[in-house]
Structure 1
Amino acid sequence: MSAQLAAGTYRCRDVSKSVAAAVGAGVTWIDTAPNYDSGAAEAALRQVLDTCPQVRVSTKVGFVPDSDRRVARDEGILRYGHAQGHCLTRPYISWQLTRSSVRLGRIPDLVFVHNPEHGRTNRTDLSRTLTETFEELEGAADAGRIGGYGVATWAGLSSGMFTVPGLTELAETVGGPHHHFRAVQFPVSLLHLAVVADALDGHGALAEAQEAGLEVFASAPLGGGELLGAMTEELVRVIDSEASPAQAALLVALSAPGVSRVLLSASTPAHWADARGALARGSLPPDRLRKVVDVLGT
């Protein structure tokens, strides 16, 4: 199995405790964002990151934490009178990168553009925004302020607002052949099987990312916990009769072609031990994944 588990922090009730459990289980990548845990997630990671230099970290730019909005307005980074729940202007990105590095206590290995499709229906406007965003992030990478960057999306790829080849082409246009565009992040799970079905047929976002040499961070592999209550005995048997329900759900994301890391927001050592058990079971063969797609549809 080439995919690995990574610690997500989106739904963590206690980020420090959850991430400590993840690192204790051998996880070496943590994904966060400035707006997670009401704006406290990045700072909550610092102690773990300070004591575990081998652990890598990714954060995001885009959503403006409530706790930062007033400061950003007072400093002239955000304009008063505008809804600024999400912002991808170059001044805001630069400002947020500095704050994230201070909170994390280190330079982030990756910075994801967080749901760039948010609030946008015009592809031309989105393309212009992404161009300016990539320009700012390329400059930050050249200056050593970040290790690289990517795009984290919930629906931008599935809705056709942008494509993996389009993002790669943009990065090459902005940053040249040695650009710093490294990864994409999007949902891969039993609730998002279309992307898996496409990958099994050699096309779609997963196949395109693999062809471009991008890392893929699979988000929401358990559907935000929703899948755990939907894992019937029959479904578990279709996937892996010897797996636990959580392991069976995770195996689908871990086995999807092209996935590099699966983001899991598990909170206890027991949960991480169960997740590690999914890794130990090895990848599901393509014919098993196809059967899952046939049973559940896309």
Structure 2
Amino acid sequence: MSAQLAAGTYRCRDVSQSGIAAVDAGVTWIDTAPNYAAGSAEAQLRPVLDGHPRVRVSTKVGFVPGSDRVAARDAGVLPLDSDQNHCLSRPYIAWQLARSHTRLGRLPDLVFLHNPEHGRTHRTDVAQRLTAAFEELESAAYADKIGGYGVATWAGLSSGAFTIPELMALAEAVGGPSHHFRAVQFPVSLIHLAVVADALDWHGALADARGAELDVFASAPLGGGALVAAMTDELVRLIDCSASPAQAALLVALSAPGVSRVLLSASTPAHWADAQGAEAREPLSPVRLRRVIDAIGT
């Protein structure tokens, strides 16, 4: 199945407006986090989700919104001697899930552990953090408080802090064969081509996720917007001569083997219409992707 566009809310100034533009364009999945939009993203999405019950939503746990720190400390889930910016302890996860439920107005379909490698330099420390977090999320899933869970990372996979097979093994150890580990989220773009090159050679994170039947959410497909301005006429022609610069950049992520959804933080109907032009095109063939990789490098 070809990858689909989904709405990301990381860089959205007005999350509600962006969410409305996305669902009006036919988007069926919105991804957010408690710390986005200065801690207001989930609450801003609630009226959008209330009006579109079939739209699915994913959120995250990990980064502590500044607006929540006092409440978290008062609740005893964020000790004063802990990292005040990031926490994946079981009490904090349970507390944050309850707040996300209230703010979203519904149970999240997916909850991602947000950069579990944050502040950890040793693999054993990351593994211990992941184990406790997986235990809490499995408990939440069995209690029907979340639909499933995953890991959203910027550099955990590329740095070797953990691998997809290790995440799968941990999920099975914690939750058994019926575990609720469902998805991973990491950057896939013209800036992050190494993971695409690996997938074309049937190894690496995308290939491992595909083999494990995990959904892959590709983040930052436009490099935070920087890629659109950096797209030369020559590069656009190499990818698809009839595409716009944004469409050409998006096509790389949409065509990467194993990607399920490409997260786009677009705020206007015009931006979504342009993006849909990329989604409607035939995916780039492995041969074309290799040409792009050879031209740009990894």
Once the 2 structures are TM-superposed, how far is the Cα of residue 76 of structure 1 from its aligned partner? Answer: 1.1
- Residue 13 of structure 1: aligned partner: 13
- Residue 93 of structure 1: aligned partner: 93
Q: Structure 1, unaligned stretches of length 5 or more?
A: none
- 1:56 aligned onto 2:56: yes
Percentage of matched positions with identical amino acids: 76
Q: Aligned to 1:119, what secondary structure does the other structure show?
A: coil
Q: Aligned to 2:11, what secondary structure does the other structure show?
A: coil
Once the 2 structures are TM-superposed, how far is the Cα of residue 227 of structure 1 from its aligned partner? Answer: 0.4
- Residue 295 of structure 1: aligned partner: 295
Q: Aligned to 1:196, what secondary structure does the other structure show?
A: helix
Aligned counterparts, 1:65-214, within 5 A: 65-214=65-214
- 1:239 aligned onto 2:259: no
- In structure 1, give the amino acid aligned to 2:248: A
- Once the two structures are superposed, residues 242-297 of structure 1 have per-residue CA deviations (whole angstroms, 9 ceiling, x without a partner) of 00000000000000000000000001000000000001112011100000000000
- In structure 2, give the amino acid aligned to 1:28: T
Q: Aligned to 2:183, what secondary structure does the other structure show?
A: strand
- In structure 2, give the amino acid aligned to 1:272: W
Once the 2 structures are TM-superposed, how far is the Cα of residue 2 of structure 1 from its aligned partner? Answer: 1.1
- Residue 222 of structure 1: aligned partner: 222
> Structure 2 CA distance, aligned partners of 1:217 and 1:225?
18
- Report the TM-score, using the length of structure 2 for normalisation: 0.99
Q: Aligned to 1:185, what secondary structure does the other structure show?
A: strand
> Structure 2 CA distance, aligned partners of 1:174 and 1:21?
39
- Once the two structures are superposed, residues 98-125 of structure 1 have per-residue CA deviations (whole angstroms, 9 ceiling, x without a partner) of 0000000000000000000000001111
- Count how many residue pairs are aligned between Structure 1 and Structure 2: 298
Runs of 4+ in 1 over 4 A off after TM superposition: none
> Structure 2 CA distance, aligned partners of 1:79 and 1:60?
20
- Once the two structures are superposed, residues 54-85 of structure 1 have per-residue CA deviations (whole angstroms, 9 ceiling, x without a partner) of 10000000000000000011111111243310
Q: Structure 2, unaligned stretches of length 5 or more?
A: none
Once the 2 structures are TM-superposed, how far is the Cα of residue 205 of structure 1 from its aligned partner? Answer: 0.3
- Once the two structures are superposed, residues 137-167 of structure 1 have per-residue CA deviations (whole angstroms, 9 ceiling, x without a partner) of 0000000000000000000000000000000
- Once the two structures are superposed, residues 165-214 of structure 1 have per-residue CA deviations (whole angstroms, 9 ceiling, x without a partner) of 00000000000000000000000000000000000111100000000000
> Structure 1 CA distance, aligned partners of 2:171 and 2:75?
30
- Report the TM-score, using the length of structure 1 for normalisation: 0.99
Q: Aligned to 1:150, what secondary structure does the other structure show?
A: strand
Q: Aligned to 1:288, what secondary structure does the other structure show?
A: helix
Q: Aligned to 2:217, what secondary structure does the other structure show?
A: strand
- In structure 2, give the amino acid aligned to 1:277: G
